[in-house]
Amino acid sequence: MATATDHDVLIVGGGPSGLSAGIFTARADLNTLIVNDGDPILRRNAHLENYPGFPAGVNNRLLLDMMADQAERAGCERREARIVDLEPVDGRFVAETEAGGTLTATYVIAATKNTVDFVEGIDGVEIIDRGNTFVETDNRGRTGVPGLYAAGRLTLQPYQTIIVAGHGASVGVAVIEDSDVEFYHDWVAPDQYFTGRGRDLPPGCEEIDKEERERRERESLEVMREYFADPHPDEPNQHPSVREE
Ligand SMILES: Cc1cc2nc3c(=O)[nH]c(=O)nc-3n(C[C@H](O)[C@H](O)[C@H](O)COP(=O)(O)OP(=O)(O)OC[C@H]3O[C@@H](n4cnc5c(N)ncnc54)[C@H](O)[C@@H]3O)c2cc1C
């Protein structure tokens, strides 16, 4: 059982890729901590118009807030901290924060866009330098070090939010598949969808009846109305090179 600083999964970076990865690992009951320092770069966007599901676009900062809330609701713990060092020790990982704290985890997902300083000394991690730095992985985010993954733009994924979010999800599921969690899909299906056809409920799946489906839909509508009731209070972040008046 994990202690306060010991987790099954440590995700470094709380942008769309890290948050998406956490939604999946936490839903599979892997004790997940997302550590982020600074603003995800999506906060600089002015209006997000290519993220599927929002025909007229969506406020980018609202979407990030909603992703962070969903990660917490799925069971992730989130902390503001900068990871400055990571070491594999006896099949686990020990991470040091800038403030001098220590975190340990069985699996680590780096989702830090172009920041590689905390992984570049590790034997088995290949850094790609193209002016910006990236981490080489297989197509599910696995690095050359068992238990260490990278997700999102850090792995040279195309630079679109939906792509890095989807990649984070794929890496999160790779962690689940590589762990000893029994997993098939994390689907919510109508009552009897599997069991009514004589099949066992696959691990990770849930069947819900009409009453429960309607309750969840009511809750979802209420929650979404709140998010979309008013314009987001924050302005987009300017590029640091643009001087504030
Ligand atoms: C001006 C602008 C407009 C954009 N507009 C669009 C658009 O319209 N549509 C679109 O699809 N995409 C757009 N993008 C691209 C989109 O923002 C990125 O594809 C996406 O945010 C990348 O996500 P990520 O999770 O890989 O990285 P990030 O979102 O950058 O997340 C990485 C996080 O890790 C944190 N971090 C880094 N190092 C550490 C460390 N050592 N310890 C802890 N935390 C750390 C960072 O502070 C950051 O919060 C835009 C980008 C910019 C700059």
Domain regions of the chain by residue span: 7-178, 188-228
- 78 near 14, Cβ under 8 Å? yes
Instruction: Classify residue 112 by burial, with Cβ atoms within 10 Å: 0-12, 13-18, 19+.
Output: buried
Measured in Å, residue 216 CA sits from the centre of ligand 1 at 31
Superfamily of domain 7-178: FAD/NAD(P)-binding domain (3.50.50.60)
What is the share, in percent, of the chain residues with pLDDT greater than 90? Answer: 93
Measured in Å, residue 74 CA sits from the centre of ligand 1 at 22
- 25 near 3, Cβ under 8 Å? no
Local structure of 88: helix, strand or coil = strand
pLDDT at 192 exceeding the cut of 60 = yes
Query: How do residues 36-88 score in pLDDT, each as one tens digit?
Result: 999 999 999 999 999 999 999 999 999 999 999 999 999 999 999 999 999 99
pLDDT at 240 exceeding the cut of 70 = yes
Measured in Å, residue 137 CA sits from the centre of ligand 1 at 19
Confidence of residue 184 (pLDDT cuts 50, 70, 90): confident
The two three-digit tokens of residue 217, written as one number: 């839909």
pLDDT at 201 exceeding the cut of 50 = yes
pTM over 0.95: yes
Q: Please tell me the number of Cα atoms within 13 Å of 138 on its side-chain side.
A: 12
The pLDDT assigned to 1 comes to 45
- Residues 109-125 have a mean pLDDT of 97
Q: Please tell me the number of Cα atoms within 13 Å of 34 on its side-chain side.
A: 32
Pocket of ligand 1, beta carbon within 6 A: 12-18, 35-42, 44-45, 48, 50, 82-83, 111-113, 115, 118, 152-153, 159-161, 164
What is the share, in percent, of the chain residues with pLDDT greater than 70? Answer: 97
Closest to 14 measured CA to CA, from 58, 68, 75, 93: 68
The pLDDT assigned to 116 comes to 98
Query: Which of 113, 132, 241 is the best mutation target for the ligand 1 pocket, counting ligand atoms within 8 Å of the beta carbon and taking the most?
Result: 113
Ligand 1 closest atom vs CA 162: 11
